[in-house]
Structure 1
Amino acid sequence: MSNKMSADRLRDQVYGQWISRAEDRRKQSDTESFVDELWNSGMKLASSQAVHYQHVMNVIRSKISD
């Protein structure tokens, strides 16, 4: 499997986990804990946590409630 395919699949999994959360857990205030949960579970979109955060936010940004 190519790295691009792996990255695409991982982003799809991140998106799926975000939208599967209850709507009241998909608020801006929930994003940091969500990103930390992914990082701690080993689902990392980058080797640094700061870059991982940015990548996850890019994936879920359109689905974040105010």
Structure 2
Amino acid sequence: MEEAQHMCKCIICGETKHEEEGIRIVTEFICEDCEIDIVATDVLDEKYPFYIHQMRQIWVQRNA
């Protein structure tokens, strides 16, 4: 019997993907594509502040 796949919304890109296509940090989901981009992004890259801002949602929502 096939299990139902859970869909999750990525806190970085906003796309909805299968839970197996990413990681969970606390209660939030980051898709595999964004995870790869984050890991490959240098701190001097213009995308870096965006990723930091989006990932802060993990702790802000939990501590609200």
Tell which structure's C-alpha radius of gyration is larger: 2
The structure whose residues are more often helix, as a share, is 1
The structure whose residues are more often strand, as a share, is 2
What TM-score do you get using the length of structure 1 for normalisation?
A: 0.29
Higher relative contact order (CA 8 A, sep 6+): 1
